[in-house]
Structure 1
């Protein structure tokens, strides 16, 4: 199938490419603001700058308001209305979470442009690079092969990002010439399977090459090249793509069987195909092997002073798997804007020290109560399945003792916060919890009147929970400054890949190997194996023994392990569970109260609404459909 690139809202494509599409990044590489292809590929240095422009077109996944997965779902909630720009950069994801998406001016509109990023424009830049890199005279062949692999990966990743948001999209393979006719510019959307195959093949091309040819297995120049693409990264994104394509949203989804182009070409195959899971499992196996051969391994915390106890080591193994820069678990971390994770940390961190109050710490990236209920008990099973845990009285107050490691001694809190797994205390904080940092352990006290409590109409946690997982333990706070250590956003880490593999293995009836990968993640989190935990503590001890039960376990394990990393929003969609889960109410604690009893009352914050099947995909801006009548709108919009 012949496919071409086009600017989806303009017809004079090449002029746009040479002028307006170069307004950010590309103009930095040419003199006197004259953006010419000849100059961009005149020599090795200029061509490499253009390659870096392709990198700069990647979405800002480390920022809480540019990554849709962070705030467009139900993991976090925010006080409302947000009336001052000091507390937000853009309200788009919060509007989506509150059911305010629209087709006239879509929120988080990466199809056209959001945060100065049009992903189609980024694809055009990749095409320009691939079409012209052969002109560079002083470029060594092995360097050229690597750069081509990087550009193909970036092109594939931008397609993948659009596919996950919009479903069937136009395939952008070649840039149209200036002589293209109006009809050539008016492209159509391609069927889901065609899009998936195109992206997968492009990732295969990016990862091809043996030995030192093409993409490297690992980054060797740690000073200048960290964040650039490796073979394991390309293979891991392919695994994510194919697991998504095999999932219920794209595999046998009868809700979209009538979704067609104007020429009646069907865009979704509504017949379930088990071979998609077989293909996904093989892609995961290859990616896991490539990562392991490159030395990637699950991160384990090692204390610089060996002065921390075992529980703290487990907590920091969980937190630093995300926040420690370039740690052993990271397969690909994006450095498009390193300062984005600084913003995320300031949004997440509450006031830790009554002697060092600083309003840069907003504490407003507030996990919801449903996230608190998601994590396992200390026995490694869901709270509503553990036969030894008092689920019925989970909202009743208890007083902690020295045996309750995650709670301040003698503090009152609800039963929900007692006897939970290490990831609960590593990922979340609450009134009465502890927060370990490199320069000490801090007590969270956030009832009204306490140093961390709500004092005004802004910069507070509306749920009473705080996101501990995304805050680097090297943060240093004083009354006059907050010193934040940024980190690359973990687009893909090994635990994520292991969970994708376990999911695909279970769907292809390889339960034994699926449990092996699941149990490696649980072991790092300080839990016993699935088999041991369910056999000894679950009211459904045989749950893991069949595909349906193990599927449920794998999904909850994934939601826990990947919590607050922007994964849940997309997972709920691809599993076709968003229509249920994102229609559940959002709860928090009564944060304006001062007493234990009054504060620890569950309050309704919002009745969330998710319209199925409409909200599974982003709307295309209506104006684009007028400019290009060959485009069809997503169902329901």
Structure 2
């Protein structure tokens, strides 16, 4: 299997999987597959299980995250608080699960027992992945470990199983996968290390969800946190992966812009390849006005520390700093995530300021942006990470801190390795807990206890390190901090209408005006106050206020779970809708 297997899978699995079905009661899950004649060789097991890789996230789900990290020119229903109960769909789909269970029922027909164990392990990895997604969205869901058919009325009409039972089953699937998947390091295939990374992720999610969501009275939060710690430790202790570093000072950005995956750190990546006509659109997304105008939110920018480790939000005048002032002497990752003064494109020497015509907050992302030849829609080919060692280190530190078992040595083995890569001072447990950050405390009021200051700092680190990797929504949901979605989304500070040289390069980059558009410097972006751009206090200035006229709400008694579709509730009267939907 060549190293582009994941990208190949996203275009055409093989002849046997040329027509994947998503019908819950389809007789055979994959076209041209009959259990009477298939599943007899290791190659047939491999070909069938290749189809499972389509469950991995799309490129938009990786770098296109929104919520309170990245703001776009439109708000989705979840962020607005305007979701409604769907008639059908809404994530309540089960065809993929049936494909997996169908395989597990028939793989024993292969006489190669080693191959059966390996591909059963792969199937069970993806079953765990499937159910993790369902539990995150819906909470309790029916657990199925058989492929259902039209005659299975009792199973089809069963009620939802408790999320406790489902997560226990997920952990059992992952334990089997960990013990039976190859130990070989493979960035384009699921391995033992991928299964351990998934267990680290799921156990942290569920352990913290149960800890903070006391309204659900879910047990065993501490046991799940311990499982996350143990899975993370197994990866860390084997020294198979490391934090990627380079002598360029741009190691963090290189993880996401390199034409080939940095396998020192990246455990699993989705590959893209021009020769195979497989692309994503990261450059286009961040550089074209019609692609959403993504911009990082002000609270995220304020979360970046100063380069000496002190807090930016402790500076007395931080709230009214210009863009140029606020980007000086900050955590070096800031300039590897957004355009900051002096920024140049890869392969070019022209200095570019942030462009408000394509970034609605002004904080223009560059995390996945590569050379200009990839700027057109569906022309980017840099691999996108799905699992990386940096996340495992963050999972380890958070689970340890939430359990109250963390030491300075634990921090040095985890968070401080990421800070060292960034060129930042180490995080100290003693200092963090002695002086919890007020700015973070206001965002995360549910954090209490002796490790309050440290947990806040770990959340800071997680938000920065994993920006635009698809984690923020899940983090807010498990921490029970959904209220942040209802707060105003802000951008750069401006004292009022006028001309602005954002990066102090000597050229005007932005003109904010009222009434008639003035004549002015060529190359500047002109934005009319009140229609094309809003400031907190109108012509008296303030932060850019994105979607100022759109009300946002978050219902604490409802919005942590998604609603089940009405058609499914009608088909199966034993299903019960989630609370308050």
**TM-score normalised per structure 2:** 0.78
Query: Secondary structure of the equivalent of 1:492?
Result: strand
- CA-atom RMSD in angstroms: 3.5
Equivalent in the alignment of 2:339: 429
- Partners of 1:532 and 1:616 in 2: how far apart? 31
Query: Secondary structure of the equivalent of 2:159?
Result: coil
Match of 1:618 among 552, 562, 572: 562
- Could you give the per-residue CA deviations for residues 305-331 of structure 1, whole angstroms, max 9, x where no partner exists? xxxxxxxx23x2111223433211111
- Could you give the per-residue CA deviations for residues 481-527 of structure 1, whole angstroms, max 9, x where no partner exists? 68944234322111110011011122332222332111111101110
Match of 1:321 among 251, 255, 266: 255
1:44 Cα deviation (Å)? 4.4
Question: How many aligned positions are there?
Answer: 504
Distance change >3 Å, CA 301–CA 436, structure 1 → 2: farther
1:200 Cα deviation (Å)? 0.6
Equivalent in the alignment of 1:333: 269
**Map 1:394-473 → 2, pairs under 5 A:** 394-397=319-322, 413-429=323-339, 432-437=341-346, 439-446=347-354, 452-454=355-357, 460-471=358-369, 473=370
1:46 Cα deviation (Å)? 3.8
Equivalent in the alignment of 2:133: 161
- Could you give the per-residue CA deviations for residues 107-166 of structure 1, whole angstroms, max 9, x where no partner exists? x82223xxxxxxx211111111111122235xx433332212111111111111111222
Equivalent in the alignment of 1:289: 237
- Partners of 2:277 and 2:416 in 1: how far apart? 35
Distance change >3 Å, CA 363–CA 17, structure 1 → 2: closer
**Map 1:198-217 → 2, pairs under 5 A:** 198-208=169-179, 214-217=180-183
Equivalent in the alignment of 1:96: 78
> Is 1:254–2:207 an aligned residue pair?
no
1:288 Cα deviation (Å)? 2.7
- Partners of 2:26 and 2:311 in 1: how far apart? 53
Q: Tell me if structure 2 keeps the 8 A contact 1:334–1:489.
A: yes
Q: Tell me if structure 1 keeps the 8 A contact 2:272–2:382.
A: no
**Map 1:47-126 → 2, pairs under 5 A:** 47-56=45-54, 58-64=55-61, 70-80=64-74, 94-105=76-87, 109-112=90-93, 120-126=94-100
Distance change >3 Å, CA 415–CA 519, structure 1 → 2: same
- Partners of 1:574 and 1:97 in 2: how far apart? 16
Distance change >3 Å, CA 154–CA 590, structure 1 → 2: same
Query: Secondary structure of the equivalent of 2:101?
Result: helix
Equivalent in the alignment of 1:525: 422
Distance change >3 Å, CA 605–CA 237, structure 1 → 2: same
- Could you give the per-residue CA deviations for residues 157-182 of structure 1, whole angstroms, max 9, x where no partner exists? 111111122222211211235532x3
Query: Secondary structure of the equivalent of 2:428?
Result: helix
Equivalent in the alignment of 1:501: 396
Q: Tell me if structure 2 keeps the 8 A contact 1:14–1:176.
A: no
Equivalent in the alignment of 1:89: none
Equivalent in the alignment of 2:522: none
- Could you give the per-residue CA deviations for residues 278-315 of structure 1, whole angstroms, max 9, x where no partner exists? 3332232223334x2xx21111135xxxxxxxxxx23x
- Could you give the per-residue CA deviations for residues 255-300 of structure 1, whole angstroms, max 9, x where no partner exists? 23xxxxxxxxxxx52x67534433332232223334x2xx211111
- Partners of 1:332 and 1:125 in 2: how far apart? 22
Q: Tell me if structure 2 keeps the 8 A contact 1:43–1:136.
A: yes
Q: Tell me if structure 2 keeps the 8 A contact 1:332–1:492.
A: yes
- Partners of 1:573 and 1:547 in 2: how far apart? 21
Match of 2:308 among 379, 382, 390: 379
Q: Tell me if structure 2 keeps the 8 A contact 1:381–1:538.
A: no
Equivalent in the alignment of 2:281: 343
1:468 Cα deviation (Å)? 0.9
**Map 1:212-231 → 2, pairs under 5 A:** 214-219=180-185, 226-231=187-192
Equivalent in the alignment of 1:86: none
- Could you give the per-residue CA deviations for residues 320-352 of structure 1, whole angstroms, max 9, x where no partner exists? 22343321111122459998872233202x3xx
- Partners of 1:426 and 1:200 in 2: how far apart? 36
**Map 1:121-160 → 2, pairs under 5 A:** 121-136=95-110, 140-160=112-132
1:569 Cα deviation (Å)? 1.4
Structure 2: any 5+ residue segments left out of the alignment?
1-21, 442-447, 502-510, 513-540
- Partners of 1:95 and 1:364 in 2: how far apart? 18
Runs of 4 or more off by more than 6 Å in structure 1?
336-341, 537-541, 590-594
Distance change >3 Å, CA 619–CA 433, structure 1 → 2: farther
- Partners of 1:575 and 1:340 in 2: how far apart? 37
Equivalent in the alignment of 2:458: 554
Distance change >3 Å, CA 477–CA 420, structure 1 → 2: same
**TM-score normalised per structure 1:** 0.71
Equivalent in the alignment of 1:236: 197
Q: Tell me if structure 2 keeps the 8 A contact 1:476–1:483.
A: no
- Partners of 1:132 and 1:613 in 2: how far apart? 43
1:98 Cα deviation (Å)? 2.5
Structure 1: any 5+ residue segments left out of the alignment?
1-12, 81-92, 113-119, 209-213, 221-225, 257-267, 303-312, 351-358, 398-412, 447-451, 455-459
**Map 1:266-281 → 2, pairs under 5 A:** 268-269=217-218, 273-281=221-229
1:453 Cα deviation (Å)? 4.9
- Partners of 1:62 and 1:531 in 2: how far apart? 36
- Partners of 1:572 and 1:394 in 2: how far apart? 25
Query: Secondary structure of the equivalent of 2:36?
Result: helix
Query: Secondary structure of the equivalent of 2:211?
Result: coil
Distance change >3 Å, CA 442–CA 511, structure 1 → 2: farther
